[in-house]
Amino acid sequence: MLPASEQQTEDSETAAQLIGYSFARPELLAEALTHPSATGDQPRRRGRRGWSQKPTYERLEFLGDRVLGLVIAEWLWRRFETEREGHLTRRFAQLVKRDTLAAVAATIGLDRHLNLSRGEANFGTHRKASVLADVCEAVIAAIYIDGGIEAARDFIRRWWEPLIAEMEKPPRDPKAALQEWAQGRGMGLPVYEVRETSGPAHALRFTVSVRVADFEEATAAASSKRAAEALAAAALLQRVAPKVAANAS
């Protein structure tokens, strides 16, 4: 994981082969594979909008999240045509959550081609689930910009088809699973609390905590209060009841 431009080019070409898509603009893939730490020692460049550093995956990740969401939502809507909205929502949440994205990125091998600082590489940042998930979304955006929605759809279908195929039933709602587990042990209802609301009005981010009885609370953040509550519930379940959590999204 050297910062040299030649190594970056070689890594991008290899990553493109693993992805199974030939880029007309390979610089998009290089951007999708560039961690913010990789720009720390690089000189700033002057462009039409002033001085800037080499772009990283952060902006692409923003777009890729939306492209993935659209493709998965349409796919589920067509594939499970008799299911209610609630069941489709649970399937959707499972397929676009961080751990799923990280698993796809690791399966492809994107972690081996991420461009980041030597310090972050030594720290193992390229193996963090949050980083792998962001890179996966950035790659989706790069493919979308380079080849359009059909190219992005082909990529998503290739790597998500096995995940949908093994999803015979909608995953259990983690909030419902946590409530059933707690009440079954006489602990009462889980208590959720919004800890923080951040970001601009068009892209709010909610940080929510949940606690049950005397267990240490769990916290999670998402773009909606409902999603943050579900993630927090899943995190708490994973800690107190791993077997129950395995059956919840």
Highest mean pLDDT out of 187-191, 200-204, 219-223: 187-191
Nearest to 57 by CA among 94, 97, 92, 15: 15
Is the whole-model pTM more than 0.75? Answer: no
pLDDT of residue 40: 67
Nearest by Cα to 138 from 51, 43, 55: 55
Mean pLDDT of 97-113: 92
Tell me: the pLDDT tens digits for 122-177? 788 888 888 999 999 999 999 999 999 999 999 999 999 999 998 888 888 889 88
The pLDDT value recorded for residue 4 is 43
The residue-averaged pLDDT of 11-34 equals 89
154 is an active site residue: no
Which pLDDT score is estimated for 158? Answer: 96
Mean pLDDT of all residues belonging to the chain: 86
In this structure, the chain runs to a length of 249
Tell which wins on pLDDT, 227 or 20: 20
Of 137, 146, 173, 229, the active-site residue reads: 137
33-72 pLDDT per residue, tens: 999 998 864 444 444 544 345 789 999 999 999 999 999 9
Domains assigned to the chain: 5-43+52-165 (1.10.1520.10), 174-245 (3.30.160.20)
Rounded Cα distance, 12 and 27, in Å? 8
pLDDT recorded at residue 104: 96
How much is the pLDDT for 2? 40
Instruction: Count CB atoms within 10 A of the CB of residue 191.
Output: 11
Q: Is 65 a catalytic residue?
A: yes
Which of 61, 65, 111, 134 does the annotation list as catalytic?
65
Q: Mean pLDDT: which of 13-17, 47-51, 104-108 is highest? A: 104-108
Name the band, by pLDDT with cuts 50, 70 and 90, for residue 181: very high
- DSSP secondary structure of 170-213: PPBPHHHHHHHHHHTTT----EEEEEEEES-GGG-EEEEEEE-T
Q: Which of 243, 222, 225, 223 is nearest to 177 (CA)?
A: 243
d(CA 112, CA 95) in angstroms, rounded, equals 23
Contact 53, 141 (CB under 8 A): no
**Rounded CA separation 54/3 (Å):** 12
pLDDT of residue 203: 74
Average pLDDT of the residues in 185-209: 90
